[in-house]
Amino acid sequence: MRSPAPRAATLTFLLIAWLIPIAARAQSAPLPRVRLVATGGTISNRVGGRLSAEELVKSMPGVERYARPEFEQFSNLASGELTLEQWLGIARRLNELLATDPEIGGLVVTSGTDTLEELAYFLNLTVLSDKPVVVVGSMRNPSTLGYEGAANLLEGFRVAASAEAHGKGVLVVLNDEINAAREVTKTDALRLGTFQTRGYGILGVVDSDRVVFYRGILRRHTMKSEFDVAGLARLPRVDVILVYQGADGDLIKAAADAGAQGIVIAGAGAGATSGTQQEALTYALKKGVLVVTTTRAGSGRIAPPRRGPDATPGGGDGPGTSLTAEERMRRIAGEDLAPVKARILLMLALTRTHDPSEVQRMFSEY
């Protein structure tokens, strides 16, 4: 009887011979190309002159292990100096890069942290691709002891190069954590752990061994968005008004008179107003302004008002109001969006429709 040893050795040899080319191909597969689109912010605000996009890329130790870095300079400003027209330009540029360069793996955008969550959410609604777009920044400038910008940028590149980041919308990466653009909020003026997602938690983390995701986002974004900014020259005016005890409604009337097409109310608790604000809101609604109610509390959902014969008299707009059914429809529930993000969604919604029912649908879906 023949020994099985020679046959086993032959099979082992054939298996090794088959696996070696596969392993070689895997090792030789090029790393993803990831492009930095730099806009400025604290991450580049060095004393004596701002860091350029090229200098930011060169500041990342070991980036070549994760991605093939590229860079371009869109602007080099503090985030508060960026105009809405520049926001449109950034979105168009990112869409252009992703549409014309199919080999690009992902994009990283630098932003000042003061308005980072706003830019990130705007891009979440206007970048029409499932490829990763990651927004990063830093709390300390390059001339400060403990500058964390290079680390945040490297982690942003790692996330943008990650296959698991595809289809998750625009991501915000700072302090080793990954948050969703829709949900993340700057919660502290100075601390490094300022960007948090209240109530829902982080999407994932960037650790030394790999990028780890724990959950995804169910709301519509990026590739499934209906907002195309390719032909937009400007965004409609939408103002945010804060509710506080004894507040005068003059600011609401002034916004309506100045041409605001929408007003976002950062309401007390579940959306309450104070002082003469309710009277002023009636004034704005009668002028055709759409009013979105959100909460100043930091988290919580504002549900759409009940419509129909069993609804609160006046549609919940307070006693003494004389709104028609059409005017009451202009009250939009902001769901769980922060006031500044509700403003962004309302601006984009108004580029497509002034139908309150359609706008409410958008707030329910996005």
Tokens (6 digits) for 135: 């927004």
In this prediction, residue 16 carries a pLDDT of 46
In this prediction, residue 308 carries a pLDDT of 57
Closest CA to 363 of 217, 353, 349: 349
Domain ranges of the chain: 30-224, 238-365
Please check the confidence at residue 198 and state whether its pLDDT lies above 60: yes
Average pLDDT over residues 33-59: 97
Average pLDDT over residues 284-301: 97
Please check the confidence at residue 15 and state whether its pLDDT lies above 60: no
Closest CA to 267 of 287, 289, 256, 252: 252
Average pLDDT over residues 134-163: 98
In this prediction, residue 351 carries a pLDDT of 98
In this prediction, residue 322 carries a pLDDT of 84
Please check the confidence at residue 207 and state whether its pLDDT lies above 50: yes
pLDDT greater at residue 247 or residue 23: 247
Please check the confidence at residue 3 and state whether its pLDDT lies above 60: no
Please check the confidence at residue 320 and state whether its pLDDT lies above 50: no
Confidence class of residue 305 from pLDDT cuts 50, 70 and 90? confident
Determine what percent of the chain is predicted with pLDDT higher than 90. Answer: 87
DSSP-assigned letters across all residues of 69-110: EEEEEEEEE-GGG--HHHHHHHHHHHHHHHHH-TTEEEEEEE
User: Are the beta carbons of 322 and 309 closer than 8 angstroms?
Assistant: no
Query: What CATH number should be reported for the domain whose range is 30-224?
Result: 3.40.50.1170
Query: What CATH number should be reported for the domain whose range is 238-365?
Result: 3.40.50.40
Please check the confidence at residue 307 and state whether its pLDDT lies above 80: no
Q: What are the residue numbers of the active site?
A: 42
Tens of pLDDT along 339-348?
A: 999 999 999 9
pLDDT greater at residue 231 or residue 28: 231
Indicate the burial class of 17 (C-beta count within 10 angstroms; 0-12, 13-18, 19 or more): exposed
User: Are the beta carbons of 68 and 32 closer than 8 angstroms?
Assistant: yes
Lowest-pLDDT choice from 22-26, 89-93, 260-264? 22-26
- Asked whether the domain spanning 238-365 has the same topology as the one spanning 30-224, the reply is yes
Please check the confidence at residue 113 and state whether its pLDDT lies above 90: yes
pLDDT greater at residue 321 or residue 88: 88
58-65 long-range contacts, CB within 8 A, separation 24+: 59/142, 59/149, 59/150, 59/153, 60/150, 60/153, 60/154, 60/157, 61/150, 61/154, 62/154, 63/154, 63/157, 64/31
For the ranges 8-17, 226-235, 318-327, the one whose mean pLDDT is highest: 226-235
Average pLDDT over residues 127-136: 98
In this prediction, residue 335 carries a pLDDT of 98
Q: Can you tell me which residue has the tokens 């190309």? A: 33
Please check the confidence at residue 64 and state whether its pLDDT lies above 90: yes
